[in-house]
Amino acid sequence: GAGVSQSPRYKVAKRGQDVALRCDPISGHVSLFWYQQALGQGPEFLTYFQNEAQLDKSGLPSDRFFAERPEGSVSTLKIQRTQQEDSAVYLCASSLVVGGWVEQYFGPGTRLTVT
């Protein structure tokens, strides 16, 4: 069956540009998570959705980061006025259950490079 997909897989942005990263979770999965993985580091939590509700955005590093999941399915992570420190792999994960922290399925990630 189809897993979590993310697009684009690679994105190069000039500093100051806005970017939008898309996540298609597994169909029917209630929970959706975004993570940021810097080079040589483990994934770090950004935000969590339960259906369309953003229940936790405590990991978003600044107000330039914004995430939405308007219909409880596809999610978009938007970064405004990108900075070099935003360069990272952005991972999306989904889970069938509410919370679902221990039953997450990860997508392949979007590698963002800010030049």
Q: Which residues partner with 12 through β-bridges?
A: 113
Question: How do 31-37 and 53-56 pair as beta strands?
Answer: unpaired
SS3 (DSSP) at 84: helix
Binding mask 53-82 for other proteins (x = CB under 8 A): ---x-xx-----------------------
Stretch that binds other proteins, among 14-22, 24-32, 67-75, 100-108 (CB under 8 A): 100-108
Q: Of 51, 66, 83, 108, which lies in the binding site for other proteins, with binding defined by CB under 8 A?
A: 108
Size of the chain, expressed as the number of residues it contains: 115
* Nearest approach, Cβ of residue 55 and other proteins (Å): 9
Q: How far is CA 14 from the centre of its chain?
A: 20
